[in-house]
A and B are shown apart, each in its own frame.
Chain A
Amino acid sequence: MSSIQIRNVTKRFGDFTAVDNLTLDIEEGEFAALLGPSGCGKTTTMNMIAGIEDLTKGSILFDEQELSGTRIQDRNIGFVFQNYAIFTHLSVYKNLSYGLEVKKVDKGEIERRVKAMADRMSITHRLDQPAASLSVNEMQKLAIGRSAIVEPRIFLLDEPLSNLDAGFRAYMRAELKVLQHEFGQTMIYVTHDQIEAMSLADKIAIIDQGKLMQYGTPLDIYNSPDNRFVANFIGSPRMNLIDGELREEKDQLKLMVSGGAEIKLQGQVKSEFASDGKVQSGSFGIRPQDIYFGDQRSDSDIKMHGTVEVLERVGPKRLAYLHVLETMFIAFDDQDRLKVGDKVPFYLPSEKSMAFDLASGRRLGGVAK
């Protein structure tokens, strides 16, 4: 078990910068997720930690020890690949025992550990069969078992659930969490699925275009995103992000949206927008579940009027698509009273609204709430 320090790591492939000055500290025993859209550099980061890719700049340390001189085979890493990378020419048993044989572990010990791991992964009945004959779900289990059996210092998982069917994915997600508790190992998990990251990880690093956008606990990231990208990326349904020009008229700060809609800023979100006098255009963020209908709950809440264009059922609740001129807000119809075509007032609570600088994407007015 080790902690991992990623210090100012940059990776370039020719002119393309895959990872840009990334710094990340992962504590011992922590389950960290690297989350980002496809091609954002998360797998490259993972490969650099494993030693499969060289670094262009920067350094990666395990327990504060520089790794660049350590060969990949001496790093003692468990790696589960997206396509499992099962040795299809070997039996299931040989797949499990491979890492131990390479490390010249005693034969009896190998047999004991292989049996225990096969039992743990419930693939005992498959041990003597060729690995190529396994189902995708069993291959997944074998891939995890093969990596775990050598008791690695750190455990890297590269989108291990993306090829599974929906039912088994949910099962494996729960299973992985249990396994992490059992192994107690430092785990890094690459995914583009925020639900996986949110439900599994102790900490999430959100990466976009090779840059670290935010690193924190799932709740932190959800409740107080550092920037517009994270706000937009995390949460389902997505946060309403309304972009517009900031204008001061008769002591009233407004966000003027193209198409004519305007948001009269009040309370906390107003002071956040006003905190940086240089910002010309901003982005107003509010999560769908924070918008409410009916009576105004606080004086500082912002009142809007909109037309219900579409109502969409999502499980027990309904999502309302509200149009204010050409601007659309998505809200949960919490009282189940709306009808398509209704013109209704709704409120944006200023305490729960977020202010971003449109140009840089940066959160305005200090992140901590």
Chain B
Amino acid sequence: MKLSPSALTLKYFFVLLASAIVLYPLLWMVTMAFKPYPEWTTVAGLTWFPKNPTLQNFEFIFYGEAKGLVVSLDRTIVGPLIASLVTSICGTLVALVSGTLSSYAVVRFGLAPMLPLSVLQLRLFPPLAVMIPVMVMWAFIGAVDTWWGLSLIYGIVTLPFAFWLMKTFFEEVPVEIEDAARVAGCSYWRVFYRITLPIVKPGLATCALFVFILNWSDYLLALMLTQKDWVTLPVYMATLTSAMGGQMYGMKAALGIIAAIPPVVFGLMIQKHLVRGLTFGALKQ
């Protein structure tokens, strides 16, 4: 259908408006990261773009101090960045491996028919409701403020997502494809990792990204279960205040940019699969 010029103008107006609403906060974060201290306080009046662009904010979070700033940090971004990467990736692996194996067992072999609902039940609790018992348990097994303790809880909390996502992907694979492989001489295990898993690879990639983003942006669990060695980025970000300067918006913006990079890179890496994963089910029957 061809739109009249006025309708087309209206359409583009709304598209632009929608894009502006989405992009404006991002733009603000990016510009603020490059503004020196006086520009991100309201004293100077708000500006769209930095008048004196600077890398001061990045310098500050990486080195704990920066030229021209009187405040300093006792912890740089490096530790939390590593902690976030390690725990998010390990937590994703835990959720993905256990979610994939268990959902395959349920879908293909009809094992534990009650498992899907009981896994879902994990999500029905607000994490806060079980946080205190978890803290006690983690303290008891010495898992507080360790990379594996945090990874483990990340894996458990995101398991329902991985399980249910993978379940729908496995359900889409025609059982005849597996039968064909078995008739050709494959064992169950070989059918799983040579046939089924490659077929659901787009699903696996999508699932990994979802779970990774969930883990990456977690605040509550990391706040409760870490103290100093394995503090993650979101928790670290919250600590970026100073008694003298109040909220350190410039540094937070710089941190926000850095925190946004891994999910974006990960997303770009698996982009090819992502489209397939989100449109899964279009298998030729």
Chain A residues within CB distance 8 Å of chain B: 47, 50, 52, 72-79, 81-90, 98-99, 102-103, 132, 139, 146-147, 150
Candidate in B174, B183, B283 with the most chain A CB atoms within 10 angstroms: B183
B285 contacts across to A, CB distance below 8 A: 83
B180 contacts across to A, CB distance below 8 A: 79, 81, 85, 87, 146
- A89: contacting residue among B174, B176, B184, B198, CB under 8 A: B198
B181 contacts across to A, CB distance below 8 A: 87, 98
- B184: contacting residue among A82, A86, A98, CB under 8 A: A98
Query: Are A85 and B177 in contact (CB-based, < 8 A)?
Result: yes
Query: Are A85 and B186 in contact (CB-based, < 8 A)?
Result: no
Give 10 nearest A-B pairs by CB, closest first.
A85-B176, A99-B184, A85-B180, A102-B185, A81-B176, A73-B185, A79-B183, A85-B177, A89-B198, A72-B182
- A83: contacting residue among B174, B185, B187, B201, CB under 8 A: B174
A79 contacts across to B, CB distance below 8 A: 179-180, 183
Minimum distance in angstroms from B201 CB to a CB of chain A: 7
Minimum distance in angstroms from A341 CB to a CB of chain B: 50
* Residues of B in contact, count (CB < 8 Å): 20
Secondary structure of the B side of the interface? helix
Minimum distance in angstroms from B172 CB to a CB of chain A: 12
Bound-state Cα–Cα, A260 to B89, Å: 83
**Chain B residue nearest in CB terms to A134:** B284
Could you show 22 A-B contacts with beta carbons less than 8 Å apart? A52-B179, A73-B182, A73-B183, A73-B184, A73-B185, A73-B186, A77-B183, A81-B179, A84-B176, A85-B174, A85-B176, A85-B177, A86-B177, A87-B180, A88-B177, A88-B283, A89-B198, A89-B199, A99-B184, A99-B185, A102-B184, A132-B284
Bound-state Cα–Cα, A89 to B276, Å: 12
Chain B 163-182 per-residue mask, 1 if CB under 8 angstroms from chain A, else 0: 00000000000101101111
Minimum distance in angstroms from B261 CB to a CB of chain A: 31
Minimum distance in angstroms from A114 CB to a CB of chain B: 14
Query: Are A72 and B201 in contact (CB-based, < 8 A)?
Result: no
* Residue B107 interfacial (CB < 8 Å): no
Minimum distance in angstroms from B141 CB to a CB of chain A: 41
Bound-state Cα–Cα, A150 to B180, Å: 13
A83 contacts across to B, CB distance below 8 A: 174, 176, 285
**Chain A residue nearest in CB terms to B177:** A85
A77 contacts across to B, CB distance below 8 A: 183
Minimum distance in angstroms from A154 CB to a CB of chain B: 11
Bound-state Cα–Cα, A102 to B186, Å: 7
A52 contacts across to B, CB distance below 8 A: 179, 182-183
Query: Are A78 and B195 in contact (CB-based, < 8 A)?
Result: no
Query: Are A88 and B199 in contact (CB-based, < 8 A)?
Result: yes
Candidate in B176, B180, B181, B187 with the most chain A CB atoms within 10 angstroms: B180
